[in-house]
Amino acid sequence: MAQPLPFRQTSGQLWMDGGFIDCDKATISILTHGLHYASSVFEGERAYGGKIFKSRQHTDRLINSCRLMGFALPYSAAEFERAKHELRERLGIEQAYVRPFAWRGSEQLGVSASANTIHAAISIWPMGTYFADKMKGIRLDIADWRRPPSACAPVKAKAAGLYMICTLSKDAAAAAGYNDALMLDYEGRIAECTGAHIFFVRDGELHTPSPEWILDGITRATVMEIAKARNLTVHERQILPDELNSFTECFIVGSAVEITPVNEIKGIAYTPGDISAQMIADYDTLVAGGTLS
Ligand SMILES: Cc1ncc(COP(=O)(O)O)c(C=O)c1O
């Protein structure tokens, strides 16, 4: 018997355009602007023990992504929050991935899009760890594609179009035997992974790329909170690939990957140590609703 796909809601209801609907009845036109011209934005969140971690921050970022793409989410943050929480309750999934998204509809199919209505949906499905055995650490390739500067794309939007180069990079990394790819920015500095931010450790201090051209990360902000609580210095700065072999630990962070240790970046080895272990333990505490002692 075929196994269910891990990253797809295959049964139950989802929320779409203001109401709850059976998954198999949630359809859109094949001539949807969001499909042809990538006028679509999304979020990726997780629920732990039935509670969505930093849910409101994700909703606020979705609303901002819509704005940056030139349209407005046709729901208030409070309405969208209610929809998310009610859907999770209806489905009863405790450990879940939550995927809200919004897109331009099918009234106008051309580069111009102003006549299109805006649609939104939320899908939720069960999800365990992103990488099969994440505590073993992962191996990163360095992508050929580079993250664009803010003059070339709305880089702060979690917009579908920006993921084209992530998918190409992730699939190329997988074909070369790696788990994921580290992406450089347009000037060759370390930027982020295909769906996560990156931190390095050297001499007991954290280093992470400065945030100008990367997504405003919700997990990245959580790692900063943990670092503050643990009196760890964080350097947000420009990091060049030349420095990769000067760090001892490395981990990637994101709502889906959580905090995942890195063993290798294209031939350079790292040994997950005390700081990675502390971060993982503290993150697990926070997502479970606890506070740091
Ligand atoms: C390109 C990219 N960078 C970083 C992240 C991590 O962001 P967050 O911690 O808000 O999930 C994501 C995931 O959304 C992403 O897609």
Whole-number Å distance, alpha carbon 107 to ligand 1 midpoint, is 31
Answer whether residue 292 shows pLDDT above 80.
yes
Q: What is the mean pLDDT of residues 97-103?
A: 97
Whole-number Å distance, alpha carbon 252 to ligand 1 midpoint, is 10
Answer whether residue 184 shows pLDDT above 50.
yes
Q: So what's the pLDDT on residue 132?
A: 66
* Residue 197 CA, closest ligand 1 atom number: 4
Nearest CA to ligand 1 atom 5: 196
Residue labelled with tokens 């990367």: 214
Domains along the chain with CATH numbers: 13-126 (3.30.470.10), 134-287 (3.20.10.10)
Q: What burial class does residue 263 get, using C-beta atoms within 10 Å of its C-beta: 0-12 exposed, 13-18 middle, 19+ buried?
A: middle
pLDDT category of residue 24 using cuts at 50, 70 and 90: confident
Model confidence pLDDT, tens digit, residues 34-80: 999 999 999 999 999 999 999 999 999 999 999 999 999 999 999 99
Nearest CA to ligand 1 atom 1: 195
pLDDT category of residue 130 using cuts at 50, 70 and 90: confident
DSSP at 150: T
Whole-number Å distance, alpha carbon 200 to ligand 1 midpoint, is 17
Q: So what's the pLDDT on residue 3?
A: 47
Q: Say if ligand 1 is within 6 A of residue 45 CB.
A: no
Q: Which segments within the chain are labelled E, that is strand?
A: 13-16, 19-22, 40-42, 45-48, 51-52, 96-104, 118-126, 138-147, 180-185, 190-193, 197-202, 205-209, 234-237, 249-254, 258-265, 268-269
Mean pLDDT, the chain, rounded, equals 94
Our CA dihedral for 57, 190, 102, 90, rounded to 10 degrees, sits at -50
Model confidence pLDDT, tens digit, residues 135-181: 779 999 999 999 999 999 999 999 999 999 999 999 999 999 999 99
3-state DSSP assignment of residue 243: helix
Percent of the chain whose pLDDT exceeds 90: 91
Whole-number Å distance, alpha carbon 249 to ligand 1 midpoint, is 20
Answer whether residue 21 shows pLDDT above 50.
yes
* Residue 43 CA, closest ligand 1 atom number: 14
* Residue 214 CA, closest ligand 1 atom number: 3
Q: So what's the pLDDT on residue 7?
A: 57
Measure the CA angle with vertex 186, ends 184 and 188; round to 5°.
50
Q: Say if ligand 1 is within 6 A of residue 197 CB.
A: yes
Answer whether residue 12 shows pLDDT above 60.
yes
